[in-house]
């Protein structure tokens, strides 16, 4: 439910160009992998699509929810403490 609410947030929708750039980057990586593949017919596009969907969904959960933001703030504090 919280993921759905994150997509309703105007600040989430305002970052359209950055999100488009991220999606285009993912498509570029898949395209390069397909181009360099020796057996293109054995690629499971359903599996590739599921992987991309899960990647973006997990990123949305981690970066757009209060729990995900709090976790990365905590990790940031740990890394900062180690570096100082």
Q: What is the pLDDT of residue 55?
A: 87
pTM: 0.59
Q: Report how far residue 54's alpha carbon sits from residue 66's, in angstroms, rounded to the nearest whole number.
A: 19
Q: Report how far residue 40's alpha carbon sits from residue 34's, in angstroms, rounded to the nearest whole number.
A: 6
From first to last of its 84 residues, the chain has per-residue pLDDT tens of: 445 555 555 665 566 777 788 888 988 999 999 999 999 999 999 999 999 899 888 888 888 889 988 998 999 999 999 998
Q: What is the pLDDT of residue 42?
A: 93
Q: What is the pLDDT of residue 1?
A: 46
């Amino acid at each position: 439910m919280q993921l759905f609410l994150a997509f309703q947030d105007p600040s989430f929708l305002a970052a359209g160009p950055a999100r488009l750039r991220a999606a285009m980057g993912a498509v570029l990586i898949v395209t390069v992998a397909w181009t360099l593949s020796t057996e293109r017919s054995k690629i499971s596009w359903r599996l590739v699509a599921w992987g991309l969907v899960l990647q973006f969904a997990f990123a949305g959960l981690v970066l757009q929810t209060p729990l995900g933001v709090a976790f990365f703030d905590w990790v940031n504090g740990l890394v900062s403490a180690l570096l100082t």
